[in-house]
Amino acid sequence: MEVKCRRLEGKVAVVTGSTQGIGLAIAERLGREGAAVVVSSRKKKNVDEAVEGLRAKGITVVGAVCHVSIAEQRKNLIDTAVKNYGHIDIVVSNAAANPSLDGILEMKESVLDKLWDINVKASILLLQDAAPHLQKGSSVIIISSITGYNPESSLAMYGVTKTALFGLTKALAAEMGPNTRVNCIAPGFVPTHFAGFLTSNETIKNNLMERTTLKRLGTVEDMAAATAFLASDDASFITAETIVVAGGTQSRL
């Protein structure tokens, strides 16, 4: 997708969970707008492939293996950005997990722990590492989900962790301001590998589309465009907010 604006020239962006799907699209969009990007995910092969693909598109990028629940890898991700580019301007916390489709009352404690660790706690710990390196005027974007407003039966506990990110966004915005803006994006359903168990079923897919005002699913580019906006100076007076990018799907707690 051609991007003509270069709102992020000279900026440095760190994106977690960014070797496929929404995360990769975000990394590409930030890079096309001029940012130097650090991509990451759990597997080195995926990181290497993402870096190669982005460089082929003219994007300045390096990669780091980062399982967001491992302290040493989180620290290495931040260190990689600082060593290569000297500072950090943008952090996008996108990594997430949904290890079980069980109902909340049937869910094993180990699964509950994993959901909280990856979907909520890891964002906090990543920002603890990143905060000392964030420039004045920097931006943090936390990727939540429309399920934070409407937890689906098969995504109930996942949805609850995504609800928590709405509150975390407001709390961090108060704590990190005025130098750093903190906002959240709640994507609607997007046909990615992560959401494939829903969007690959035609009946479920059509039901999800019918819930939207625009009668379609979202695209990874839709989410990337919203992220780039929040990261840019065009959003310089926006903080502590959640932007719902879900085609008009009902979104109210």
Catalytic residue set:
158
Is the CB of residue 224 less than 8 Å from the CB of residue 26?
yes
Is the CB of residue 41 less than 8 Å from the CB of residue 53?
no
Return the exposure string of 59-88: e unless at least 16 CB atoms fall within 10 Å of the residue's CB, then b. bebbbbbbbbbeeeebbbbbebbbeebeeb
Distance CA 28, CA 9 (A): 14
> Cβ of 161: how many Cβ atoms within 10 Å?
25
The values of phi and psi at residue 233, to 5°, are: -70, -15
Question: What amino acid occupies position 166?
Answer: F
Place of tokens 């990727």: 143
Place of tokens 């780039």: 228
Distances (CA, A) of 152 to 29, 60, 75, 143, 146: 29, 38, 34, 18, 10
The CA angle 210-216-219, to the nearest 5 degrees, is 140
> Cβ of 140: how many Cβ atoms within 10 Å?
28
Distance CA 100, CA 82 (A): 36
